[in-house]
Amino acid sequence: MNSNITLSIIIPIYNEAVVLPFFWQALAPILDTLTARYEVLFVDDGSQDDTWTLIQKLAAQYAEIRGIRFTRNFGKEAAILAGLEQSQGQAVVVMDGDGQHPPALLPEMLDAWRQGYPLVVACKKDRPNDSLFARVCASLFAALMQRLSGLDLVNSADYRLLDRKVVSALLACPEKIRFFRGMTTWTGVESYPIAFSVPARLAGESHWNKLGLAKMALHALVSYSAKPLYYLFGTGIFGLLLSGLLTLQAIYSWLAGIAVSGWTSLTLVILIFGSANLLGLGLLGIYIGQLFEEIKARPSYLVRETTYGTP
């Protein structure tokens, strides 16, 4: 590692050829005011447009730029991991390349790090460009994470500055299914929050879809807590008690000669707990699926090529 580099900027990017020139125009002037010793790592997560070509052109013009290109789309978490593994700075910033993580926050983030904070977290003060449905889902996810794992991710974002010690701690974690936002909070190191209003994208449209976000949220929840399994066990205990009461009711009805009564309640119980069984099997399947992915121990990503800035 080059200890002379003060700051590393990691930018996971996927099919952002439209927005990349505008983003660099916003980022470059600010970097020059922060430190003379920095690097920018663009991690191309298998883009199918001209994103990699643009990264190569930028690297040919700026010595501080490095590019990593995956063989295919491995996901944002893999791109962040690759950036962390290749970063050399004493302070490392992870930010999106669409402009919704404002580069203007970087000076304040770096100042907080220089004051001794090992983790600087950019928190979403408001999301004027998000739909009501998206805001409700984000709040629900944060509440569930708080309830199930104890991690406070309210208004959190992946826009974070990490001290080199925090980066080393994250890289020491061996899991393959990762959740950067949760992992940095999990470390428990002292953090410094900076609130920001999420701006609109500089250009283009987001490549996230509702299904992809739901899948990421589900994996994050089961990665940091086994409580859903205990809740499932509690549901089984409740069902056992309820079935005992229904058994007593059935015996009474038979002795009283009114065995036909109770049909509605019995039908409801069958429907409710039949659905609960299917949901429980699905939940177990998710946990087993994550174990399967971890046990295979395949690499989180494969690199097709790299590019380095020309001095």
The domain segmentation of the chain, as residue ranges, is 7-128+154-205+300-308, 227-296
Contacts of 184 (CB under 8 A, 6+ apart): 119, 121, 160, 162, 166, 170
CA 201 to chain centre: 19
Note the pLDDT of residue 308: 86
How far is the CA of 41 from the CAs of 27, 35, 78, 228, 262, in angstroms? 13, 16, 14, 38, 67
Note the pLDDT of residue 262: 58
Report the distance separating Cα 179 and Cα 176, nearest Å: 10
CA-based radius of gyration for the chain = 25
Note the pLDDT of residue 73: 92
CATH number of 7-128+154-205+300-308, picked from 3.40.50.720, 3.50.50.60, 3.40.50.970, 3.90.550.10: 3.90.550.10
How far is the CA of 106 from the CAs of 85, 92, 102, 177, 181, in angstroms? 21, 11, 8, 28, 18
DSSP 8-class letter at 172: T
Phi, psi dihedrals of residue 33, rounded to the nearest 5°: -90, -10
Note the pLDDT of residue 4: 72
Note the pLDDT of residue 259: 57
Mean pLDDT for each consecutive 10-residue tract of the chain (311 residues)? 78 93 92 87 94 94 94 93 95 93 94 95 81 77 77 84 96 88 90 90 73 73 75 73 71 66 64 72 78 82 88 60
**Residue 91 CB-density burial (10 A; 0-12 exposed, 13-18 middle, 19+ buried):** buried
Note the pLDDT of residue 42: 97
Cβ atoms 173, 103 nearer than 8 A: no
